[in-house]
Structure 1
Amino acid sequence: MEQSRKNTPRTQYHHGDLRAHLIETVRVLVEEKGADGFSISEAARRAGVSSAAPYKHFSDRAEIVREVALAGIDRMRDRMDQVAQAASGDPLAPVTALGLCYADFARTEPGVFRLIFGLAEGHERDAEMQARGDGCLAIVKREIRTAMPEDTPETEIERRSLMLHMFVHGHAFLEIDGKHELELTAEQEKALMADISRRILRD
């Protein structure tokens, strides 16, 4: 009987990709508690692993939170590209779709959205985060460039891209902070974004 117990393997919780599983677990915690509202030990417990397991993949808490932010930027960029490519009809439709996509991402993942834009210590100085964020802005510039006359100077593309981003970014934060005085339906928000697109690009 003793020999039988010794030869019986211990039951353990295995993950096919522990690193990805931990990033997803921390993403959920960021949404529930904010970027600074939990410990690595809590994340490990939630993931079903030992408190030492995360350190096999990440040097510290800041690194895993950073990876959550980077993955969030990638998701936002991919969604923006998809909606812009799928938009049709009105020549300004891709720009309107980008604005709606941006606001929707903020509503869907408000914790990650805040994290992306530097509401956690140190991220505003992260060159890689800045570069990936520039990838999102590049999609906006691409669609604005397409909607504008061919001889439009690049400085003007930059200016109008910034104008659009300023409006949509402010709109998104007002939404997730619950400070928007307007309670817009989906159709009203779409009409608002279309109006802003026209005003910015046809001025």
Structure 2
Amino acid sequence: MRIRPVGRHALLLDCDNPGQVEAWRAELWRRRDDGELTAAEIVPAAATVLLDGVPDPATTAARIAGWTPGPTATTAAVRHVEVPVAYDGEDLPAVARHWGVDVPEVVRRLADTTFRVAFCGFAPGFAYLTGLPERWAVPRLPSPRPRVPAGSVALAGPYAGIYPTASPGGWLLVGRTGLTLFDVHADPPATLTPGTRVRLATA
């Protein structure tokens, strides 16, 4: 892991792998909750963790360099969300062909997987879910659809995701849910936040 300054009041942790990102995300959130770290935002991404709103970046970077991420939170302490999914996406046959199985097996694998929100991006409330084996990664569409309906459950690369609002998108559609994923009046606004465990249960 490497730490570098970003602007006047931010730090970026460059991590070696997604597991390291999650370990540092959990450690930094814990230390902020305990009052050991001052940062307005701690934002994980695919390979980095951003700390924004840091009053003294140089001192904070030196302190972080001396920390070692502890074990991630126990299962009992982790937030869990079950998402009811109707598995009727138009790209299910394409996923089945890519995995070399039939459509019912694709549905079974997805419903039986415990996903984790690695990070959020693309659109407010859009969570990138990890948990599928690397060998099950699927390609995006050659060109994105101009409109993907809100609640669409989809796969791309090693990730699963759910479109919180209607938008263009090139992920493979496997199902849909009626669960609200982003509400500006809620606290927090996003239903799926980093570290949350997610089950895409059959509706």
TM-score (norm 2): 0.26
Between Structure 1 and Structure 2, which shows a larger proportion of helix residues?
A: 1
Between Structure 1 and Structure 2, which shows a larger proportion of strand residues?
A: 2
Q: Which has the larger radius of gyration?
A: 1
TM-score (norm 1): 0.26
